[in-house]
Amino acid sequence: MEQQRGYGTFCRAYLRTMDPERAARAAGSQDGFSMLGNRFIQTRLEKMRENASSQIRREDAVRRLAQLAFGQANDAVKLALGGRDTDVDTLDLSAVTEVRVSDKGGVEIKLVDRVRALESLCALLETGGGTDAQALYQALAEGGEEAGWDHE
pLDDT per position as a tens digit, 109-130: 898 888 888 888 788 777 754 4
Alpha helix locations (H) across 18-113? 20-26, 32-36, 39-55, 58-70, 74-82
Q: What is the rounded CA–CA span in Å between residue 117 and residue 143?
A: 13
Averaged over 122-141, what is the pLDDT? 61
This prediction has a pTM of 0.45
Sign of CA dihedral 96, 139, 90, 53: negative
Q: What is the rounded CA–CA span in Å between residue 58 and residue 3?
A: 36
Q: What percent of the chain has pLDDT over 90?
A: 17
Mean pLDDT, all residues of the chain: 79
Residue 15: closest CA among 31, 4, 26, 28: 26
Which tens digits make up the pLDDT trace of 53-95?
A: 777 777 777 788 888 888 788 888 888 888 677 887 788 888 8
Say whether pLDDT at 131 is over 60.
no
